[in-house]
Chain A
Amino acid sequence: DQQVKQNSPSLSVQEGRISILNCDYTNSMFDYFLWYKKYPAEGPTFLISISSIKDKNEDGRFTVFLNKSAKHLSLHIVPSQPGDSAVYFCAASARSNYQLIWGAGTKLIIKP
């Protein structure tokens, strides 16, 4: 049973528009969430994180929103740029454990 789910395998967005990537989790013990970005032939790179004591965290064009009651988080990219085309992974952990549980990834394609 997947504890972290990214239900959209792919997403296509026009350049300049907003990209919204979604992630759902089932384990209520998770209290720390991260997004990683992966280009082909490279390892994932850390993008942004959020702790469960917050419901929003921003870093430049990237914002992560956390809805604890719905066990849902989303990554917003505004405005989307061609270099944002990549696979995005959502990951979660419980601070008591720190072991990351990963979603299957969403491939984001930014169209010119």
Chain B
Amino acid sequence: DVKVTQSSRYLVKRTGEKVFLECVQDMDHENMFWYRQDPGLGLRLIYFSYDVKMKEKGDIPEGYSVSREKKERFSLILESASTNQTSMYLCASSFRWGSPLHFGNGTRLTVT
């Protein structure tokens, strides 16, 4: 069974802090994704990666960056957290394009 693990379930950070959200998958999947989920807006894609060291912007990349140094790990970085980045962050992976996504349990980030 595919396991996608996000390092934190809840995080509280202050405005201006640098924030790292970590995600690890154990199924040797090529593709990894970072989404944020907000009420009434569904899931919105921040960044995705189709290979080690490769990354592509999603729909809402502003204020975020990512890192994929190893195939199993995909990190989301908030360079300077702002209150409008308070959200639920979901990491996902997929075997190949078109395969269903497997999600982690999410990190609820609050920026005060």
**Contacts from A to B (Cβ < 8 Å):** 4, 6, 9, 32, 34, 36, 41-46, 49, 89, 91, 93, 95, 98-100, 102-105
Would B105 and A4 count as touching, CB distance under 8 A? Answer: no
Total number of B residues with any Cβ neighbor in A under 8 Å: 21
Shortest Cβ gap from A55 to chain B (Å): 20
Instruction: Specify which chain A residues have a CB less than 8 angstroms from the CB of B103 in the assembled complex.
Output: 43-45
Describe A's contact surface by its main secondary structure.
loop
Instruction: Specify which chain A residues have a CB less than 8 angstroms from the CB of B45 in the assembled complex.
Output: 99-100
Shortest Cβ gap from A37 to chain B (Å): 11
A26 CA to B105 CA in the complex, in Å? 30
Assuming the contacts A4-B42, A43-B92, asked whether A100 and B101 have C-beta atoms less than 8 A apart, the reply is yes
Would A43 and B42 count as touching, CB distance under 8 A? Answer: no
A15 CA to B41 CA in the complex, in Å? 28
Question: Which of chain B's residues has its CB closest to A51's CB?
Answer: B98
